[in-house]
Amino acid sequence: MDYKFLKYTTDERVATITFNNPSRYNAFSSIMKKEFTNAIAKADEDDQIRVIIVTGAGGKAFSTGYDLNEPVARRSVTDFRKGIADDFDFTYTVWSCSKPVIARIEGYCLAGALEFAQMCDIRYCSEDSKFGVVESRFSGGVATLAMPWIIGARCRELIYTGDTIGANEAKEMGLVNRVFPKDRLEVETMKLAKRMSLIAMACLHWNKRAINQTYDIMGFGSATTYGKEACLLLKIDSPEYEEFDLLRREKGVKEALKWRDAQFKKYE
């Protein structure tokens, strides 16, 4: 399959899947999500591949989340539900993959992209990376709410404020595993991935499966599914989301974001 918004490369036993739409900060469009689902399945089925790296092109962003510029008409509850389920399934592709998936983050990792990165097994980032549950600021729900499982109760402040944090704070709270200088991120990540790829495939596979099963026994699957439903309710029962969505559809994303930012300016 030829990809429009992805790059797929291999190096020894490591596959790298790159979100490749830097002019849009690698925002997740419908096409990109479908292409990624194909690419992650391709890497998972390839017996020569043991570890997968996911990253973003351009140096400015891993991704800024779901593409708010995609044209959408006013939607029904059924349409909202289908859209949220599609986003949820997209983020679960890396969790469900039988092989370790590393998110290599450079620059912005916001909103749905942060959800996605948290569903990866490991997160490495550059020192200029920025993280934030920014969808909270327009009453957008978190479709795949994995953050409580990664950083515990500290997630509450990030989710309740929509604040953006830097790489070192993200590492300190356990959101990322390691922080590297920007010019060393790719090399150091690949070095770790290749070291990991020397582990027997059966060992990687069964250890990942056992770790995921541990989370599921503790209720991870049920909790994230509940988060998906909460996300739906916010879309149909929040005046703030209604206003943001109306501005986005009638005047464009820039005006919607301008309105959002104005709400918080006094206390920044």
- Domain residues of the chain, as ranges? 6-197
DSSP state of 57: T
Cα dist from 4 to 20, 29, 135, 210, whole Å: 8, 11, 27, 35
Separation of first and last alpha carbons in the chain: 46
Closest to 104 measured CA to CA, from 38, 16, 174, 205:
16
Residue type for position 167: A
Q: For residue 111, what is the DSSP state?
A: T
- The rounded distance, in Å, linking the Cα atoms of 112 and 171 is 19
pTM: 0.95
Q: Please state which of the ranges 170-174, 210-214, 259-263 shows the lowest mean pLDDT.
A: 259-263
For tokens 């292409």, what's the residue? 35
Give the pLDDT band (50/70/90) at residue 153: very high
pLDDT for 73 beyond 80: no
pLDDT at 268: 86
Give SS3 for 99. Answer: coil
- Average pLDDT over the chain, rounded to an integer: 95
Q: Give the rounded distance of the alpha carbon of 166 from its chain centre.
A: 16
> Which CATH number does 6-197 carry?
3.90.226.10
pLDDT recorded at residue 97: 98
